[in-house]
DNA sequence: AAGCGGTACAACCGCCTCCCC
DNA sequence: AGGGGAGGCGGTTGTACCGCT
């Protein structure tokens, strides 16, 4: 007797999630908190496998997720981090707490890959990312850019990890109201744009009612951009990176096309900077306020 | 106006890692 | 210490939408 399959094919529903399912999932998580995903389908009656529930939550329903266009800064940060970490989307996503790994992965595959190919030409860009030997940006420039982005990421990360500022990512069972609002919002949209009657809907679903209506998001998004513009103006003139790096350490950031043992060191260093550098808390406090406001706008 | 191709993104699949017994 | 199971992760696919011809 093997292990009970987590995704028992028989009787399980696949395909797009319906609003009803979302509501059931969210209300369950409101009560019990995320985790113990195996118990979720059993306790909720959802005909979904535990993985599917977890994925739906983490990629879509979780509070604090920012949707829509990626900002320039986010884009650059992703590019830098991808160069550093390779296709470790979860690790990259941890530096952009409002984005999911899936989102980042999709964005990379659909936008950035092509963009970088265009910019750098096929020679200097490989499937893994940059080949830094041929990278056109000089090391100094690149370090400065990275430094700026790291400052941003640091703040975002500390916000996400800070209990009082966190938008509820921690595993506390309470505090998922924003998620409910999220659902309510989506439901409104869904009511406004009800799905076309599916002629051959044998998946049991109702098509893809959830596709974000891009035009109807314009107001929200402009607000988001407003708040991020402050982000953009963030002055990162301190040279944390160059000051805290020995030449050897700095070299770690140079050649990166394939994750290897060194890379763990890189990640550790990166995280060290993100967490340890408390010298710029003044700026960070400003940013925290901005971000809090931003969250208030999002949800 | 219709058809077609490209793009974006949600969701699935299968492997891997970590934790618990 | 070893095995089993749950959760996590990255790659890939399916499909709806959009713009161009």
**Both structure tokens of A239:** 């040279």
Footprint of strand B on the protein (CB under 7 A): A 7, 13-17, 48, 51-52, 55-56, 59-60, 67-68, 102-103, 105-107, 109-111, 208, 210-212
Query: Which helix (H) or strand (E) covers residue A27, if one does?
Result: helix A19-32
Regarding whether A57 and A83 lie in a shared domain, the answer is: no
Residue A97 lies in a domain: yes
**Distance of C1' in C14 from CA in A128, Å:** 25
**Distance of C1' in C10 from CA in A105, Å:** 9
Q: Residue A11: what pLDDT?
A: 75
Nucleotide minimizing C1' to CA distance for residue A49:
B12
In this structure, what CATH number is given to the domain that contains residue A83? 1.10.10.60
Q: How far apart are CA A174 and CA A178, in angstroms?
A: 11
Q: Residue A156: what pLDDT?
A: 53
φ, ψ (nearest 5 deg) of residue A129:
140, -135
Residue A56 lies in a domain: yes
Domain that holds residue A36: 19-61
Q: How far apart are CA A12 and CA A15, in angstroms?
A: 10
Q: Which nucleotides of B are covered by protein (CB under 7 A)?
A: 7-14
Q: Residue A120: what pLDDT?
A: 64
pLDDT in tens, chain A (299 residues): 433 444 555 678 888 898 888 899 888 888 888 878 888 888 888 888 888 998 899 888 888 888 778 888 888 888 888 888 888 888 888 888 788 888 898 888 888 877 776 666 544 444 344 433 334 444 445 445 555 555 555 555 555 444 443 333 333 333 344 455 556 655 555 555 544 443 333 333 333 333 333 333 333 333 333 333 333 333 333 333 333 333 333 333 333 333 343 444 444 444 444 444 333 333 333 333 333 333 333 33
Sign of CA dihedral A93, A96, A102, A108: negative
- Token pair 């960070």: residue: A284
Regarding whether A78 and A46 lie in a shared domain, the answer is: no
Q: Residue A113: what pLDDT?
A: 76
Q: Which residues numbered 25-84 in chain A sit less than 7 A from strand C, measured from CB?
A: 35-39, 50-51, 54-55
Residue A83 lies in a domain: yes
In this structure, what CATH number is given to the domain that contains residue A37? 1.10.10
Q: pTM for this one? A: 0.57
Number of H helices, E strands in chain A: 14, 2
Residue A219 lies in a domain: no
A139 touches strand C (CB under 7 A): no
**Distance of C1' in B3 from CA in A108, Å:** 30
Residue A201 lies in a domain: no
Nucleotide minimizing C1' to CA distance for residue A212:
B9
Regarding whether A50 and A26 lie in a shared domain, the answer is: yes
Output the DSSP codes for A238-263: S-HHHHH--HHHHHHTTS-SS--HHH
Q: How far apart are CA A136 and CA A84, in angstroms?
A: 16
CA distance readout (Å), A117 to A8, A84, A114, A199, A282: 41, 17, 5, 41, 39
């Amino acid at each position: 007797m093997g292990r009970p399959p987590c995704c028992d094919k028989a009787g399980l529903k696949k395909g797009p999630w319906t609003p009803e399912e979302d509501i059931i999932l969210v209300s369950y998580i409101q009560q019990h908190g995320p985790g113990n995903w195996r118990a979720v389908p059993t306790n909720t009656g959802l005909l979904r496998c535990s993985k599917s529930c977890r994925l739906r939550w983490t990629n879509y329903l979780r509070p604090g997720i920012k949707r829509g266009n990626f900002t320039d800064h986010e884009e650059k940060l992703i590019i830098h981090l991808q160069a550093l970490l390779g296709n470790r989307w979860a690790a990259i996503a941890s530096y952009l707490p409002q984005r999911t790994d899936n989102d980042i992965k999709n964005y990379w595959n659909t936008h950035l890959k092509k963009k970088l190919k265009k910019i750098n030409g096929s020679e200097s860009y490989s499937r893994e990312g940059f080949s830094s030997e041929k990278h056109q940006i000089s090391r100094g420039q690149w370090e400065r850019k990275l430094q700026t982005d790291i400052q941003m990421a640091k703040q975002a990360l500390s916000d996400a990890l800070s209990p009082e500022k966190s938008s509820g990512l921690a595993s506390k069972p309470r505090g998922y109201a924003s998620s409910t609002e999220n659902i309510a919002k989506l439901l409104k949209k869904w009511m406004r744009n009800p799905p076309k009657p599916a002629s051959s809907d044998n998946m049991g679903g109702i098509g893809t009612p959830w596709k974000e209506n891009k035009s109807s998001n314009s107001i929200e998004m402009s607000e988001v951009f407003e708040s991020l513009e402050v982000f953009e103006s963030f002055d990162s003139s301190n040279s944390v990176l160059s000051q805290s790096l020995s030449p050897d350490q700095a070299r770690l950031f140079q050649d990166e096309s394939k994750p290897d043992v060194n890379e763990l060191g890189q990640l550790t260093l990166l995280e060290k900077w993100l967490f340890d550098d408390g010298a710029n808390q003044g700026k960070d406090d400003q940013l925290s306020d901005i971000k809090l406001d931003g969250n208030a706008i999002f949800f």
